[in-house]
Amino acid sequence: MQIDFEEWARRYGTPLYVYDFDRIRENYTRLKEAFSGQKSLIAYAVKANSNLSVIAHLGKLGAGADCVSIGEVLRARAAGIAPYRIIFSGVGKRDEEIRQALEEEILLLNLESEAEMKRVEAVARELGKEARISIRVNPNVDPQTHPYISTGLHENKFGVEIDMAKRMYIYAKNSQWLDPVGIHFHIGSQLTELEPIREAAGMVADLVRSLAAIGVEIRFFDVGGGLGIVYRDENPIDVKAYADVITEAVRGLDLTIVCEPGRFLVGDAGWLVTRVLYEKRNGDKRFVIVDAAMNDLLRPSLYNAYHRIEALFDGEERGEATPAEVVGPICESGDWLGKEVLLPETKPGDLLLIHSAGAYGFTMASNYNTRGRAAEVACEEGRCRLIRDRESFEDQIRLEQAHLEERG
Ligand code: LLP
């Protein structure tokens, strides 16, 4: 839909996250339809954007939730996602998180080590409940993405090797408290190559076949997330080809395909709207200083990530566009949002639009420099509404203030 960013920036202030819920629906539907003819569950990776309204929107479309902390599980529940559509992954679950997840009766606890399996077994025994589990296999496949978001190599901390997985499945099958019904892999994020997925899916499907031969019946084949999107000029994976590669790998097996996309569903459906504060030059270098910063959108600072920045003002009479570094007010040289951004001369109050900020934008925001986190707006079928208030100074100090009062 056409969004009047100027109007919403005026109404709710900047920096402001704006999400297009129609676009999210289209992204979800495209992926779900790619798996038609196959039992499938799209479990939205809540970490990408965990606003309750975003989760609820996807939940109403039929999505489940892939969570990495009990906080995310509780968010998914609060947003109305049914427990049997929730998966809990992560390398370091605490006993209390395991207990709560079992009490919530979620679909799967995804295990990432033998030690963790023993903890889950112990907690399940205490509760007198059988834990439905899946095991994350690390297939040692190079996903050809940024090293910080690559996860399927033995050098990464995620998952277990295939031989170890097999031993764990045998142990789980013989345990009264563990029900091994799922298998999982996730090789990385922002993937643009299909081959590593084909390779990993093939290896893991072979493991499912050899497990069946020894009486371990896997029902959920979880292929993780990772589908890349366009930030600059990437050539993203075609979702139909992606679904076909997976369907092909599991041919002959009776499985529900679980897929855990985050970025693909919400990444291109979000923008960070920011206002220019000042322009300055240091020597030859031109800086445009805006009111958003690395605490609002960390991806450029953390991964050197590119986000397209568009001027929302009429630059016609402002002269030629020249390269500028777009930076925030935070006291770090790493606080930049765009480098070599071609912009005409800017004036205080001009609006800039930072694209593809729907995933890992707000969720990675912080209060660094005691900056309140941005407000969030959702637009759907021609209307926009506030889905999170701007964080105030009082919000930020609330937990500290309680202690001040206690001490008189
Ligand atoms: N499943 C698992 C087990 C994951 O670890 C992740 C992401 C996903 C699913 C969702 O991946 P997606 O479909 O969004 O690629 N902060 C980084 C991305 C970190 C991804 C971590 N795991 C960024 O801003 O690029």
DSSP string, 181-212: EEEE---BSSB--SHHHHHHHHHHHHHHHHHH
163-167, 201-205, 313-317: the lowest-pLDDT one:
313-317
CA angle in degrees (0–180, nearest 5) for 92-96-97: 55
Could you read off the pLDDT of 358-386 as tens digits, one per residue?
A: 999 999 999 999 999 999 999 999 999 99
pLDDT higher than 90, residue 337:
yes
Query: For the chain, what is the mean pLDDT?
Result: 95
Could you read off the pLDDT of 40-92 as tens digits, one per residue?
A: 999 999 999 999 999 999 999 999 999 999 999 999 999 999 999 999 998 89
pLDDT higher than 90, residue 309:
yes
Q: CB of 12 closer than 6 A to ligand 1?
A: no
Task: Check if 384 is active-site.
Answer: no
Could you tell me the residue ranges of all domains in the chain? Answer: 90-259, 268-392
Report the share of the chain in percent with pLDDT over 90. Answer: 90
Q: CB of 186 closer than 6 A to ligand 1?
A: yes
Superfamily of domain 90-259 in the CATH hierarchy:
Alanine racemase (3.20.20.10)
User: What pLDDT score does 408 carry?
Assistant: 60
Question: How remote is the CA of residue 176 from the centroid of ligand 1, in Å?
Answer: 33
Could you read off the pLDDT of 263-293 as tens digits, one per residue?
A: 999 999 999 999 999 999 999 999 999 999 9
Q: Give me the catalytic one of 259, 331, 379, 384.
A: 331
Closest CA to 297 of 26, 16, 79, 68: 16
Q: pTM for the whole thing?
A: 0.96
Question: How remote is the CA of residue 226 from the centroid of ligand 1, in Å?
Answer: 6
Q: CB of 152 closer than 6 A to ligand 1?
A: no
User: What pLDDT score does 102 carry?
Assistant: 97
Fold of 268-392: Lyase, Ornithine Decarboxylase; Chain A, domain 1 (2.40.37)
The reply to whether 90-259 and 268-392 are identical in fold is no
Could you read off the pLDDT of 102-127 as tens digits, one per residue?
A: 999 999 999 999 999 999 999 999 99
Q: CB of 8 closer than 6 A to ligand 1?
A: no
